[in-house]
Amino acid sequence: MPLTQETLLGKSVDELTTWIKQQGQPGYRGKQLHQWLYQKGVRSLTEISVFPKAFREDFKDYPIGRSNINHCTIAPDKTRKYLLSLADGLIIETVGIPTAKRLTVCVSSQVGCPMNCDFCATGKGEYDRNLSSAEIVDQVLTVQEDFQERVSHVVFMGMGEPLLNTKEVVKAVKILNQDVGIGQRSLTISTVGIPKKILELAHHQLQVTFAVSLHAANQKLREQLIPSAKFYPLPKLLADCRKYVEITGRRVSFEYILLGGVNDLPEQAIELAKCLKGFQSHVNLIPYNPIEEVDYQRSNAESINIFKTILEEKNIAVSVRYSRGLEANAACGQLRAMSRV
């Protein structure tokens, strides 16, 4: 068996067919391998019972590309947060979010995150590297296997900034769609905004939901909350978002984490409405989920309602999204790679 670091997960059916032929097997086994990898989620070639016993034995140690569950925490609402050990020993976090009608996976795109957002636990830790498309897809297969239920939706809102890993994220989207069988419109890519990358993503013409973490309607406050914003002025960011809509024909979702007394005042709602006037967009208001490192407070119910009402009166499409998994530190902004939770 050849020594290689390349994994089978991440390959298309044509690539798997080429690989299987190189190992002296008939081409039709490429489709079988594809089915067992992406539909049955095998972790070893020894599990593929339709393959010859001698072949399975010869390739029993060939790297499939699956991670191992280091730890799993289950919240009262049944949300599960996983610490996954990668082949190089690094740890990432993945969250499985079940409801009566769907199973959503919040996937990480990097090990850690270099963006250093002030209210986010991931940004308080170290950044190590980008994830490969196979490592992203593996997270979905792991959750699917653990829940014993098909995953219906995937959001790129875990550890990392997806647009700093655009190539692998786009590849993962296509694998999840074409190989795992999840519709692109059930996939969401979230970003705080990376110069030039929004338009790069737009030209891929994906049918995914595109979400931008805004969190402030003026440059000064946004830089306080998101340090990287100083390299991407708010007017330029919004201009690129408008171009994204023009290129793709799909609206942009804006994520806005409500921090009590910081960005949840009525005048700030008016300011946000002015920024988004005439924009094909939707605003998700997200009450802040606390982390240990900073003392931001979650907005109270009255402030949230006033903020939402002002946006509605200004004809801005808006909804409030309460995060799942809060008690397990699995909610939005709470992910960090620790050996235990």
Q: List the chain pLDDT tens, one digit each, 341 residues.
A: 333 468 999 999 999 999 999 999 999 999 999 999 999 999 999 999 999 999 999 999 999 999 999 999 999 999 999 999 999 999 999 999 999 999 999 999 999 988 877 777 665 678 899 999 999 999 999 999 999 999 999 999 999 999 999 999 999 999 999 999 999 999 999 999 999 999 999 999 999 999 999 999 999 999 999 999 999 999 999 999 999 999 999 999 999 999 999 999 999 999 999 999 988 999 999 999 876 656 788 999 999 999 999 999 999 999 999 866 555 554 454 445 444 43
Indicate if 332 belongs to the active site: yes
Query: 93, 161, 168, 223: which one is catalytic?
Result: 93
Query: 106, 113, 117, 332: which one is catalytic?
Result: 332
Indicate if 113 belongs to the active site: no
pLDDT of residue 240: 97
Residue whose token pair is 């740890």:
91
pLDDT of residue 124: 62
pLDDT of residue 322: 80
- What is the rounded distance in angstroms from the CA atom of residue 17 to the CA atom of residue 35? 12
User: Nearest to residue 188, comparing CAs of 104, 307, 272?
Assistant: 104
DSSP collapsed to 3 states, the chain: CCCCCCCCCCCCHHHHHHHHHHCCCCCCHHHHHHHHHHCCCCCCHHHCCCCCHHHHHHCCCCCCCCCEEEEEEECCCCCEEEEEECCCCCEEEEEEEECCCCEEEECCCEECCCCCCCCCCHHHCCCCEECCHHHHHHHHHHHHHHHCCCCCEEEECCCCCHHHCHHHHHHHHHHHHHHHCCCHHHEEEEECCCCCHHHHHHCCCCCCEEEEECCCCCHHHHHHHCHHHHHCCHHHHHHHHHHHHHHHCCCEEEEEEEECCCCCCHHHHHHHHHHHCCCCEEEEEEECCCCCCCCCCECCHHHHHHHHHHHHHCCCCEEECCCCCHHHCCCCCCCCCCCCC
Residues in the chain, how many? Answer: 341
pLDDT of residue 120: 77
Residue 289's Cβ-count burial label (10 Å; 0-12, 13-18, 19+) is buried
Strands 252-258 and 281-287: parallel
pLDDT of residue 339: 42
